[in-house]
Chain A
Amino acid sequence: GEDVEQSLFLSVREGDSSVINCTYTDSSSTYLYWYKQEPGAGLQLLTYIFSNMDMKQDQRLTVLLNKKDKHLSLRIADTQTGDSAIYFCAVTSGTYKYIFGTGTRLKVLA
């Protein structure tokens, strides 16, 4: 079945850029997503990218998709302490299912 992997932990200094990586095994996913989860909260949709795109930029967020290597990344520019959270990538599997990555805990140091 589909497998989606992320590194578990990332620590950056405030003002630096953060890059969170995600690798997946099934290339048939038409959409790929990034969600943010703060402690005790639900999942907040950050951005998504269609599989025929290589890049999408949305304010401080840049998503890069390398379909050949099945690699997705999320870059956060000028990272702030409020960006500290767990970040999940997700890919579609069929009409309704998401396959979530393992989640990356981002810690921003002041």
Chain B
Amino acid sequence: DTEVTQTPKHLVMGMTNKKSLKCEQHMGHRAMYWYKQKAKKPPELMFVYSYEKLSINESVPSRFSPECPNSSLLNLHLHALQPEDSALYLCASSQTTGSGNIQYFGAGTRLSVL
């Protein structure tokens, strides 16, 4: 099983709303990732968690707040977003040792900010 599950699939929110994106994996992976992808572009790394600790923050604005409650779950809390934050948000997970850090991706959450 190489499944990463993301919810919701679609989300529409206003600039004053607070919402959360969720990601879950049961592969025993200890690294989890958030990416942002604009149309016809490659994914851009936002955050990396390793063993439930934030390992990489790619200078993401504070209106995006990641959280890793346990080794299987990853959340992305959204607050006061801008229309330019509309994108496909992808979660991924990988083992942290060996196997070349193969990342497995979820289907994504398509976010629209009005």
Chain A residues within 8 Å of B, Cβ to Cβ: 30-31, 33, 35, 40-45, 48, 50, 86, 88, 92, 95-98, 100-103, 105
The 7 closest A-B pairs by CB, nearest first: A31-B100, A100-B42, A43-B105, A42-B105, A42-B107, A96-B48, A42-B108
Q: How far is the CA of A92 from the CA of B100 in the complex (A)?
A: 8
B12 within 8 Å of A by Cβ? no
B16 within 8 Å of A by Cβ? no
**Chain A min CB distance to B109 (Å):** 10
Which A-chain residue is minimally distant from B106 (CB atoms)? A42
Contact in complex: A45, B100 (CB < 8 Å): no
B90 within 8 Å of A by Cβ? yes
Contact in complex: B102, A33 (CB < 8 Å): yes
B56 within 8 Å of A by Cβ? yes
Contact in complex: A98, B102 (CB < 8 Å): no
Q: How far is the CA of A86 from the CA of B37 in the complex (A)?
A: 13
Contact in complex: A50, B100 (CB < 8 Å): yes
Q: CB within 8 A of B45: which of A41, A92, A98?
A: A98
Contact in complex: B100, A30 (CB < 8 Å): yes
Q: How far is the CA of A67 from the CA of B10 in the complex (A)?
A: 41
**Chain B min CB distance to A2 (Å):** 13
Contact in complex: B108, A41 (CB < 8 Å): yes
Q: How far is the CA of A40 from the CA of B40 in the complex (A)?
A: 11
Q: Which of B40-57 contact A (CB under 8 A)?
A: 40-43, 45, 48, 50, 55-56
Q: How far is the CA of A97 from the CA of B57 in the complex (A)?
A: 11
Q: CB within 8 A of A96: which of B42, B43, B101, B104?
A: B101
